[in-house]
Structure 1
Amino acid sequence: MSWTPEAGHASARPGWIALLAVSLVVLGLAALGRAGWLLWTFLPLCAGLGLVLLARPAGFVVFTLGVWIWAPFVRRLVDWDTFYHQLSPVLATPTLLTGLAILAHRTWRTGLAQAPAFALLALPLGWALAVGFVNNGIVPSAYSLLAWAAPAVFGLYVLGAREKTPGLEAAVLGGLSLLAFAASIYGLVQFVEPAMWDRRWMINSGMPVLGEPLPFRVRVFGPLNSPVPFAAVMVAGLIAALLDPRPWRWFLAPTMLVALLLSLVRSEWAGFAVGLIAVTLLAGVASLGRVVRMFAVFPMVVALGLPLLAYEPIQRAVMSRVESFRAGSADVSLRDRMILYQTITFEEPILGKGLGSTDNATRLSSGNGRLDPKHGTVDSALIQLATSYGIPMAAAFLGILAWLGAQAATAGRRSSAGLAGLAIVAASLSQLPSYNMLISAAAVLLYFGLGLSLPLRKSALARDPGRLDADSQDGPLPEAGLRQA
């Protein structure tokens, strides 16, 4: 079975309709005091809608991104209505939804033809899967495979859909900025007055990184489950809004900027700067106007955000974190991370421990639904790669990503969407030492960026040369790109 997108259909409207339908179900059940029903109905509901949307790639991409952003919020509603679930099917929903892209094999195989280096990822993945079966069992290894592989297939789906669907880039880029804007509004409200479900999550999860469940004491995590993935969404949304040629999109950026600052994730602040620098250095002559426009818009974004930043509790929280940049050895989190890298030892440096040995997959093998205290709580992608894959295969995985990133750098500068994808990739890769950007929502954004910025075949460009530079001369987008979501 396979789904093929309709040629020339770039509207993300079906995806927005699906998100609206899911939202009405979620809010309706919550209002009736039946949010607990979502524990087992949310996954099939989203999966069914995802299957319908596979043939409409812009809609499927926007819907998938929306579910990744809001599924943790749904999980918190369920827990608030019932009790805290160590293993919640709701959190498996976005991963399984992303994996549905494998069913659209004509689309992702088209993407694979554009970027054959993706196929090389099967080598380290296959190795770690085989080792994981032996060390960790079938279920944890299979779940971990889906967590690592589904975002890559999603990136191929985006790339293949670009080849078949003119105007898709503008549709999904605009969708990302709107989704991030909505999450930023929730994040700002959360900082001022965290909802009861958010407070209960902060207490039950036992994550000190979330701050305190009190007004103005929350380290903003928005609808996601922790500040780092929320900050990654804000960075991607900011980039999408700043590089969107439609001026009204820029007005979405101020709240995203303030929400990013309130996440207090300094590495993502730096990642945002890395993304902007990458665009500046790698943009070609044809894209110079876009870069100038982006930097001309950014001061206006900051100015529009100043009323929020001037609010004393927000100013106090942000400035306290800014001061920590100058703290040097007194910076506890930085010191702890440096100690981790200096003292880390791997039990299986060559073979690795296999898939299922790190992150949330350890909940499936621990017997009690809790994270493994040693391997489940380390968030560095580099350490998780070396632990699961072994150092040789981890190096191979990173080498393949670097090669794909280099390909994106040569081609992404040809359009606004390509530049945005390239900036998202650069920002994501810069976070690998501090956070695992290769699984979960952060990974979906990384591969989404690759899907937007990797080059298309010459045959595709010959059929539609306008897609390569949809807003060339810094003029308006084609009509097909303006009529979406």
Structure 2
Amino acid sequence: MSSIARAGIDSTVRIVKSDRRQTNEWLPPALLWLVTAILIVAHQGAVLTLAFPVLSIAVGFWLYFASPVRYVGYVWWLWFLSPEVRRLADWSIGMYTPTSLIQVAPLAVTIISGLSLIRFYHLLAQRRGLPVLLVLAGLGYAFVIGVVSSGPMAALYDFANWVYPILIGFHIMAYSRQYPHFRGTIINTFIWGMLLMGGYGFVQFCVMPPWDVLWMANSQMNSLGDSVPFGVRVFSTMNSSGPFAFVMMGALAYVIEASSRIRWVAGTLGFLSFCLSLVRSAWGGWVIAILIQLVLSNNKLRVRIASTFLVLSFVLLPLMMIGSTADRMEIRLQTLINLSDDQSYAARNDFYTSFARTAFTDLTGEGLGATGTSTKLSNDRGHLGQYGNFDSGLMNIPFVLGWPGTLLYISGLIWLLTGAAFKSRRLPGDRFVSANISIAVALVGMLLFTNSVVGTSGLMFYGSIFLILAAEPMKRQYHRTNSATRGRR
């Protein structure tokens, strides 16, 4: 058999094996969502409440070992869709459940990435791992304080929300050799996620499904507007409009890097729902992200970015000028100009004025579990505590972590962010890197309004940073390989 024939056979075998492996990687998540859909259609909400977290965690473990890259995409899909699954389960059983096991699924599956911290612990002793060590040390200090002041359950739940974005980031760093696969997986996940969530968000605004009405009526989230058509602040498949808007902001930053034709439909629906969420801080973050991408791009790409959003604006402006939609958008936009008439701005300004001294002079800190939804676990009634609603990330960090924890955490965070910014300048031709640095900087700017380094926004923040850090050594390896190839020629 000739060498050419053998090479052809070997190539065919590799393609078959690759296709089989990709099919095997997609099959378990697809079965999870198929079972979920069947249980929803069959109105088996009670079964779904138990089955969904169990199956999600099982698939998460399988994907973590079988495909570490697709595992990250799967994590994002759980954060995108689990809140809607929970609402559909509640609706099918005809009652709202204050604490549902379904909401544990995305958190538990994301925490699986902590295995990478155990398996690749030696990376913490390297230069690239030291910032992670600092961040974890700061959280460890605040966790100990939180156990004492707020109780172990509240502290543990809050610790998980702070730490899981960092664990995913470390996981990406541990598998940085697979950066090209990470890039493709993240882009596809966000583009298809934007298509689904953007489309559903528009339906939610126009129709207001009954399961979403049930959620709004019982979740005590008065900021979501009215549970009637054209009266809601769109939150799509997620728990509230804030996290949804942050995810859409990141997806819109990735649109420029996407190559599939579906990006135009996804971008249109995502941008429309993004606007209808009425989250001004996310609007501002998106403007920051776009400006950074324009600065880091060449003239050809700048024209592409500008033309993309001119087309989106041309398509969406007529929709924004219809009926109550126009009224709500006009009121929201006016508050950006007339801050003196903005009650939200006035309340936040008063909060900064009155609480700044308390936040920055609490030396030991209140510990994890003192703020946010975790305060529900620090009392017997399951209600939000005194600091359940905390609008400022800049004050939340020192108030919770104290001076020792803040010094460690912020030192590691700044180290990571400056390293990513420096390396992004060395990769001007990688649009994915430009999108990620724009997302990271935009989320830092949002610390004025919310703690954007925890939860899903934190997952996007640390994910963006570590994707940039993973890109730089891959580029060096690529150039070394090309140089060696040219040398042999």
Coarse TM-score class (shorter-chain normalised)? 0.7 to 0.9
Aligned to 2:11: none
Closer/same/farther in 2, CA of residues 395 and 265 from structure 1, 3 Å limit = farther
Measured after TM superposition, the shift of residue 271 of structure 1 is: 0.4
Stretch deviating more after TM superposition (223-232 or 422-431): 422-431
CA contact (8 A) 1:275 1:423 kept: yes
Aligned to 2:103: 91
| Structure 2 letter corresponding to 1:61 | V
Distance 2:328 2:203 in 1: 15
Distance 2:26 2:247 in 1: 18
| Structure 2 letter corresponding to 1:378 | F
Distance 1:380 1:28 in 2: 41
| 1:321-362 deviation digits (Å, cap 9, x = unpaired) | 112212221100111000000001538711011112221221
Closer/same/farther in 2, CA of residues 166 and 77 from structure 1, 3 Å limit = same
Matched, 1:153 2:167: yes
| Structure 1 letter corresponding to 2:284 | A
SS class of match (1:243) = coil
Distance 1:206 1:158 in 2: 36
Stretch deviating more after TM superposition (78-87 or 254-263): 78-87
Closer/same/farther in 2, CA of residues 15 and 139 from structure 1, 3 Å limit = farther
Correspondence list, 1:75-86, <5 A = 75-82=86-93, 83-86=95-98
| Structure 2 letter corresponding to 1:317 | R
Match of 1:351 among 349, 361, 364: 364
Distance 2:241 2:463 in 1: 20
Aligned to 1:166: 180
| 1:422-477 deviation digits (Å, cap 9, x = unpaired) | 1111121111121121222111111111122225564x445434999xxxxxxxxx
Distance 1:301 1:339 in 2: 37
Distance 2:25 2:150 in 1: 37
Closer/same/farther in 2, CA of residues 406 and 295 from structure 1, 3 Å limit = farther
Correspondence list, 1:29-178, <5 A = 29-55=39-65, 56-82=67-93, 83-105=95-117, 113=126, 114-178=128-192
Matched, 1:196 2:210: yes
Stretch deviating more after TM superposition (32-41 or 207-216): 32-41
SS class of match (1:298) = helix
| Structure 2 letter corresponding to 1:448 | G
Aligned to 1:296: 307
| Structure 1 letter corresponding to 2:267 | A
Closer/same/farther in 2, CA of residues 300 and 159 from structure 1, 3 Å limit = farther
Measured after TM superposition, the shift of residue 396 of structure 1 is: 4.1
Aligned to 1:360: 373
Closer/same/farther in 2, CA of residues 432 and 199 from structure 1, 3 Å limit = same
Match of 1:24 among 11, 14, 34: 34
Highest Rg: 1 or 2? 2
Structure 1: gaps spanning 5 or more residues: 1-7, 469-485
Closer/same/farther in 2, CA of residues 455 and 410 from structure 1, 3 Å limit = farther
Distance 1:278 1:401 in 2: 20
Distance 2:34 2:191 in 1: 22
Closer/same/farther in 2, CA of residues 13 and 201 from structure 1, 3 Å limit = farther
Query: Percent of counterpart pairs with the same letter?
Result: 26
Matched, 1:410 2:422: yes
Question: Normalised by the size of structure 1, how large is the TM-score?
Answer: 0.86
Measured after TM superposition, the shift of residue 143 of structure 1 is: 2.1
Aligned to 2:396: 384
Matched, 1:464 2:470: no
| Structure 2 letter corresponding to 1:366 | N
SS class of match (1:390) = helix
Closer/same/farther in 2, CA of residues 116 and 212 from structure 1, 3 Å limit = same
SS class of match (2:458) = helix
SS class of match (1:119) = helix
Aligned to 2:317: 306
Structure 2: gaps spanning 5 or more residues: 1-17, 483-489
Measured after TM superposition, the shift of residue 366 of structure 1 is: 1.2
Measured after TM superposition, the shift of residue 140 of structure 1 is: 2.0
Measured after TM superposition, the shift of residue 120 of structure 1 is: 1.1
Match of 2:228 among 205, 208, 214: 214
| Structure 1 letter corresponding to 2:108 | L
| Structure 2 letter corresponding to 1:452 | L
Distance 1:385 1:206 in 2: 25
Closer/same/farther in 2, CA of residues 12 and 180 from structure 1, 3 Å limit = farther
| Structure 1 letter corresponding to 2:378 | S
CA contact (8 A) 2:235 2:277 kept: yes
Closer/same/farther in 2, CA of residues 277 and 108 from structure 1, 3 Å limit = farther
Distance 2:147 2:445 in 1: 31
| Structure 2 letter corresponding to 1:359 | G
| 1:19-50 deviation digits (Å, cap 9, x = unpaired) | 43333222211211112222222211111101
Aligned to 2:6: none
Distance 1:12 1:128 in 2: 42
| Structure 2 letter corresponding to 1:194 | M
Question: Normalised by the size of structure 2, how large is the TM-score?
Answer: 0.86
Aligned to 1:424: 439
Aligned to 1:473: none
Closer/same/farther in 2, CA of residues 269 and 395 from structure 1, 3 Å limit = farther
| Structure 2 letter corresponding to 1:73 | E
| Structure 2 letter corresponding to 1:361 | S
Stretch deviating more after TM superposition (253-262 or 21-30): 21-30
